[in-house]
A = this chain, B = another copy of it.
Amino acid sequence: MLPPAGRVKATLVSASSSDLIPLVRKLESITQLTSEERQALESLPAAIRLMQPRQDIVRDKDRPGHCCVILSGWAYRYKLLSEGKRQILSLHIPGDLPDLQSLHLHVMDHNLATLTACRLALIPHEAFHDLTNRFPGLGAAMWRDTLVDAAIFREWMTGIGRRTAFGRIAHLFCEMYLKLHAVGLATSHRCELPFTQVDIGDALGLSNVHVNRVLQEMRGKGLITLQGSRLVIVDWGALSEAGEFDPTYLHLRAGETA
């Protein structure tokens, strides 16, 4: 029942208690955890699933019976429209719970897919419900996590609706760097961004051609370097100014700014 039927072949093994450390770390970036809470998290019943890049994890209209935690790799959520148009809704990194909403909204209204190869932990909804009943503080932390998610949607919406292409891309780079930095996956204004220019376009409501031109402009102005999937933000001040980037909406703990 756990693995979505009739999909990609998935490798499933059972989890050991150290597997869920990324989840613990993520929630610890949101609240203080007691040792009982940490222990309860680590002993959640989980199945480990290994997935190839660019595979759907859950699809629009699905009614999943479990949530996944990203243990390693990147994932993204997206919607498809007519004529092959795609809108990428969010990008997710280790520790994230990208389909936590299925705990309370039973039908998926979008797709969730891997961007890179991923290691996922699948946790049954009942286990989450049991956990939040026993530890309301964990429930509050997870609620808060979904609220930050929504805050990021609002910010993206604002960018797509009212920012120039240059500002949008600048803003995205600032955001991704800070998110990675917050969970210890980036320092010194350098990080991995394993997505293509088509992906960036579909996330920001732009064509891949235009993304390409704006990236060249950014390089030309000495704001960034970007080769393969390696991003270096050369001039954080100028980049965040170009994107009118204000990290309030990420609701990070005090001082995590640059």
A77 to B81, CA, bound (A): 26
Q: How many copies does the complex hold?
A: 2
A248 to B109, CA, bound (A): 6
Contact present for B89 and A154 (CB under 8 Å): yes
Contact present for B105 and A151 (CB under 8 Å): yes
- B residues near A149, Cβ cutoff 8 Å: 150
Instruction: Kindly provide the distance from the CB of A61 to the nearest chain B CB, expressed in whole angstroms.
Output: 7
Contact with B along A149-181 (1 / 0, CB 8 A): 111011111101111000000000000000000
A41 interface contact, C-beta 8 A: no
A110 interface contact, C-beta 8 A: yes
Contact residue among B132, B156, B163 (Cβ-Cβ distance under 8 Å from A157):
B156
A190 interface contact, C-beta 8 A: no
A240 interface contact, C-beta 8 A: no
A143 to B101, CA, bound (A): 9
A82 interface contact, C-beta 8 A: yes
A110 to B144, CA, bound (A): 17
Contact present for A205 and B248 (CB under 8 Å): no
For residue A106, which residue of chain B has the nearest CB?
B251
Contact present for A104 and B161 (CB under 8 Å): no
Q: Knowing that A81-B163, A143-B146 are A-B contacts, what are 14 other residue pairs whose CB atoms are under 8 Å apart, sorted by A's residue number?
A: A79-B158, A81-B158, A82-B244, A87-B158, A89-B158, A105-B251, A109-B155, A109-B248, A146-B146, A146-B147, A150-B153, A160-B161, A160-B205, A161-B202
Chain A residues within CB distance 8 Å of chain B: 60-61, 77, 79, 81-82, 85-87, 89, 101, 104-105, 107, 109-110, 132-133, 136, 139-140, 143-144, 146-151, 153-158, 160-163, 202, 204-205, 244, 248-249, 251
